[in-house]
Chains A and B, each alone.
Chain A
Amino acid sequence: MSSVLYDNPGPRARRRNVLYTVAFLAVLALVAWWVLTALNDKGQLDAAKWSPFVTDPQVWTTYLLPGLTETLKAAALAILIALPLGAALGIGRLSDHAWVRVPVGAIVEFFRAIPVLILMIFASQIYAKFTTVSSDFRPLYAVVTGLVLYNASVIAEVVRAGVLSLPRGQSDAAVALGMRKGQSMLYVLLPQAVTVMLPALVSQLVVIVKDTALGGAVLGFGELLSQNRQITANYGANTIATFTVIALVYIALNAVITNLASRLEKRLRQGRKTSAVKENSPAETTETPAGAVSGA
């Protein structure tokens, strides 16, 4: 494999690479041995601590799956509300009228600058003080509200970048056909921008799924992560095993989302043979906004 950094290896380089491989393997083995002894000393490797996840379906039906359901519920609600809201904010920020553009821009920048946990804590207290939402549902409401406020403003930036990445000719052609501004946005610009935006939107969906865990840790929302206390309490302090399984469930869930999206993207790109989207535009122009890069 050749790259900008190095040539195809010759005989000497190949010998050196073998040497590096062996050395690296030794380091990895050393670290693994150290971790495993540390775990073994505390009895965390005992089969009894790991086997419930395979042999006892109750761990899944009583704790993990209900937790996963709550996680998915919060994530689905958040994305379903944040998408249209974000699209509206993004279009609002592109408006020709300053009295729309400026306040919308301020809202978007404000909510992007604040940690989502701060928004969740605030929303939770708002629901407690001003509404009659029962305390069972308050964590869900608070988590979804926090996620919507934050992610709608991130999605707004994604939408704006997506629309701006289209060639000028597209909106010019729409104007030439006598379309109004709204029509050109709805029928010409947005449908094309969706293909460009898709990677950023999916990474945002993954961020939303990951951020639901905040509610479990801080607000007492009964999602997947928060199940760890019950499981470790009921199955003999199998902390390491529990966290490994919970992390794997999150990883699998996010892998599924990413996978589905790349298939969808492929299909969308195939569906339009003569794409108006500029070559190489997705990587360069839809620069993911700060939040999209790494949510909690």
Chain B
Amino acid sequence: MFDFLDSGQYDLLGAFWVTAQLALYSAIGSLIWGTALAAMRVSPVPLMRTFGTTYVNLVRNTPLTVVIVACSFGLDQTLGITLGADSSEDIGFRLAILGLVAYTGTFVCEALRSGINTVPTGQAEAGRALGLSFTQVLTLVVLPQAFRAAVTPLANVLIALTKNTTVAAAIGAAEAALLMKDMIENEADALFVVFALFAFGFMVLTLPTGLFLGWAAKRLAVKR
């Protein structure tokens, strides 16, 4: 039943390793970009707020597939931007990370913003009444509570990101969905086995993350 795996023709673990790498790098990148966007959206400067809001609304309503395919066709094939990669697989991998960061950053931004919105204004007012400076209010009072409230939405974004890495198959990054398409076409007899393998692989990637972060969110939640 599993004999087609022994032929050495398919690198199942390697493909899932690429998926995990895609998810990890994109997660780090989109956390940074999303935090920057959130900072803009809540900043006192109107122009920054406008930019943040416009970016989030435009990119969030564009399909991730369009973002990633546009990265490949537009950046790589038209403008020759390859992010320093040589092989086509590497280019696909790096551009996919770029697309995932640009797209997922908007959801990270919204998660952080919803976290900030859960902090009652009274908290900052109490901080100011104690004579804390703006920076102190922000770093000692508001942000610690905001981050703790943002854990659950951020966890959901991370899980969605892990699943969204499959879109990189559209531009030839050698990750799990691309290998599955290959395998399922070549090994049509083992259709259900192949599906079960990949379904299991993604459940291994997403379910523990969800359970751990759910547990963390409960422990960290601010009791009000």
Residues on A lying within 8 angstroms of B by beta carbon are 1, 3-7, 9, 13, 17, 20-21, 24-25, 28, 38-39, 42, 44, 110, 113-118, 121-122, 125-126, 128-129, 206, 209-214, 216-218, 225, 228, 232, 237, 239-240, 243, 246-247, 250-251, 254-255, 287-291, 293-296
Contact = CB atoms under 8 A, between A and B. Distances in A.
Contacts of A42: 78-80
A294 B104 contact: yes
B124 interface: yes
A250 B170 contact: no
B79 to A, nearest CB: 6
B160 A216 contact: no
Interface string B63-76: 11110011001100
B59 to A, nearest CB: 9
A128 B119 CA distance: 53
A32 B45 CA distance: 20
A210 B138 CA distance: 37
A122 B195 contact: yes
A291 B111 CA distance: 14
Which of B61, B124, B128 gathers the greatest number of chain A CB atoms within 10 Å? B61
Contacts of A246: 66
B128 A7 contact: yes
Contacts of B9: none
Pairs of residues from A and B, 6 with the lowest C-beta to C-beta distance, nearest first:
A217-B170, A210-B63, A213-B65, A213-B63, A254-B61, A115-B163
Given A4-B116, A5-B138, A21 B202 contact: no
Contact of B156 (A21, A114, A290): A290
Interface of A is mostly: helix
B184 A121 contact: yes
Nearest to B122: A4
A3 B44 CA distance: 9
Interface stretch (B10-18, B84-92, B203-211): B203-211
Given A118-B198, A218-B177, A294-B161, 11 more contacts: A3-B42, A13-B44, A24-B48, A42-B79, A113-B207, A115-B166, A118-B177, A118-B195, A247-B66, A251-B61, A290-B210
Contacts of B163: 114-116, 291, 296
Contacts of A25: 47
Contacts of B7: none
Contact of A293 (B46, B61, B157, B207): B157
Contacts of A247: 62, 66, 70
Nearest to A214: B65
Given A113-B203, A129-B191, A293-B156, A121 B134 contact: no
B202 A118 contact: yes
17 contacts: A4-B121, A5-B44, A6-B44, A24-B45, A39-B79, A42-B79, A115-B177, A118-B198, A118-B202, A128-B188, A216-B65, A217-B65, A218-B177, A228-B73, A240-B74, A251-B58, A290-B159
A250 B66 contact: yes
A225 B69 contact: yes
A113 B202 contact: yes
Nearest to A240: B74
A268 to B, nearest CB: 23
Contacts of A3: 42, 121
Contacts of B48: 20-21, 24
Nearest to A239: B78
Contacts of B64: 210, 213, 295-296
A296 B45 CA distance: 32
B93 interface: no
Nearest to B69: A217
A113 to B, nearest CB: 5
